Amino acid sequence: MKRFLTALCAAMMLTVSAGALEVSAPSAVLMEKETGTVLYEKDAHAKLEPASVTKVMTLLLTMEAIDAGQLSYDTVITASAHACSMGGSQIWLEENEQMTVNDMLKAVCVVSANDCAVALAEAVAGSEEAFVEKMNQRAAELGMNDTTFKNATGLPAEGHVTSAWDIALMSRELILNHPDIRNYTTIWMDSLRDGKSELVNTNKLIRFYEGATGLKTGSTDSALYCLSGTAERDGMELISVIMKAPTSAQRFDDAKTLLSYGFSTYALETIVPQEALPPIPVELGTQATVQPVLGEGTALLLEKAKAGQLSQSVELAESAAAPVARGDTLGTLTVTAGEETVAQIPIVAGEDVARVTFSQMFTRLLRLAFLGG
């Protein structure tokens, strides 16, 4: 709980520092991927229509199905009548047309193909209705409390809403744990069906913003223009979410404003000990020492001015009593910037060390007595 509160306070401080930043869209969020820190928010929990940004969840569940072995990129999907009946953006699948998961992912990521999104949903869950249940279940698991999904595409449906905050959460889950999605979201131009179907990415950031990595656009008459735009520079990836922008150009301008603010102001530092951590003696252990390692929280999001003046201090226990479990706290590495403490990272046991049994202890004593004689 203490670590959570510390992280929460840090996130709040970083958010407040962006108070002077202005975007024209009524709802927006800027989040850093690795730590999940929100750097900027504007009416972030407003429940709004996401249009095709919905497909971030469709992509997430598809990638999770691939990881689970339920699908592969080479799996061939046969398009159903229902999938082919979708309106809006599509590649005009014909009923019973066959296409690989790889090509359907490309169509969803590049041109926001509704027909392919539904075909993938049916391949994952058997029907779009069953897939939507999975979407809402996954949203709940991710803490997306502003979200109710009604379909896999984002086509207008009463009650189909989410928020900029929730879009950032699911976007982070996708790019953090499924980096292969970049193979599709970074495509600017490509084709399907042996070159017969040309694809041009709806996300103009891919062509016109340095470091752009994705992610998904969306627009309808009622949702207006939405975007989850991601970019990476110097090892830090940011997620900019724009909701209900008045024009397509404005959503990209707002996203660029947020991303450029983040890259110009913050740096992501991975903390490693300046000196090797020495083994710690273990009392009554099956081995004499245990090796300490850094625990969680080694990625620090810092203002660039602070990132250049970091120093470390280490406190370690003099010894540990067996049994020692991997992950047991053995000390703390404190990171400071000038006089300010910016992080306290736990130092933990990197291995298990069991306690010696009576027979093992007796054998040791005999050995000592024998050697001593």
Query: Based on the domain organization, do 25 and 130 belong to the same domain?
Result: yes
274: in domain: no
Query: Based on the domain organization, do 231 and 345 belong to the same domain?
Result: no
Query: Based on the domain organization, do 314 and 258 belong to the same domain?
Result: no
In sequence order, what DSSP letters do the residues of 24-70 get, joined into one string? SSSEEEEEETTT--EEEEESTT--B--GGGGHHHHHHHHHHHHHTTS
Q: What is the pLDDT of residues 336-348, one digit of tens each?
A: 998 899 999 999 9
Query: Based on the domain organization, do 316 and 223 belong to the same domain?
Result: no
Q: Which helix (H) or strand (E) holds 13?
A: helix 2-16
Q: What is the pLDDT of residues 151-184, one digit of tens each?
A: 999 999 999 999 999 999 999 999 999 999 999 9
Q: What is the pLDDT of residue 241?
A: 98
Q: What is the pLDDT of residue 371?
A: 64
Which residue, of 240, 266, 292, is where some domain finishes? Answer: 266
Query: Based on the domain organization, do 222 and 334 belong to the same domain?
Result: no
CATH of the domain at 308: 2.60.410.10
The structure tokens listed for 274 are 């300046």
Query: Based on the domain organization, do 93 and 129 belong to the same domain?
Result: yes
Query: Based on the domain organization, do 187 and 287 belong to the same domain?
Result: no
Query: Based on the domain organization, do 155 and 296 belong to the same domain?
Result: no
Query: Based on the domain organization, do 202 and 100 belong to the same domain?
Result: yes
Which residue, of 212, 241, 266, is where some domain finishes? Answer: 266
Q: Taking a C-beta distance cutoff of 8 angstroms, is the pair 183, 139 a contact?
A: no
Q: How far is CA 188 from the centre of its chain?
A: 22
Domain total of the chain = 2
Q: What is the pLDDT of residue 11?
A: 45
CA-closest candidate to residue 124, choices 64, 36, 34: 64
Which residue, of 219, 240, 266, is where some domain finishes? Answer: 266
Query: Based on the domain organization, do 306 and 240 belong to the same domain?
Result: no
Query: Based on the domain organization, do 107 and 256 belong to the same domain?
Result: yes
Query: Based on the domain organization, do 234 and 309 belong to the same domain?
Result: no
373: in domain: no
List residues with catalytic annotation: 52, 55, 112
Length in residues, the chain:
373
370: in domain: no
313: in domain: yes
What three-state secondary structure class fits 129? Answer: helix
3: in domain: no
In sequence order, what DSSP letters do the residues of 264-324 get, joined into one string? HHEEEEE---SSPPPPEEEETBSSSEE-EEE-S--EEEEEHHHHTTEEEEEEE-S-EESPB
Q: Which helix (H) or strand (E) holds 334?
A: strand 329-337
Q: What is the pLDDT of residue 15?
A: 44
CATH of the domain at 232: 3.40.710.10
CA-closest candidate to residue 224, choices 82, 80, 24: 24
Q: How far is CA 202 from the centre of its chain?
A: 22
371: in domain: no
**Whole domain around residue 146: which residue ranges?**
8-266
pLDDT per residue as tens, the chain (373 positions):
334 334 444 444 444 345 578 899 999 999 999 999 999 999 999 999 999 999 999 999 999 999 999 999 999 999 999 999 999 999 999 999 999 999 999 999 999 999 999 999 999 999 999 999 999 999 999 999 999 999 999 999 999 999 999 999 999 999 999 999 999 999 999 999 999 999 999 999 999 999 999 999 999 999 999 999 999 999 999 999 999 999 999 999 999 999 999 999 999 999 999 999 999 999 998 999 999 999 998 999 999 988 888 999 999 999 999 999 999 999 999 999 988 999 999 999 999 999 988 777 667 677 776 665 4
Backbone φ/ψ region at 232: left (φ over 0), alpha (ψ -120 to 50), beta: beta
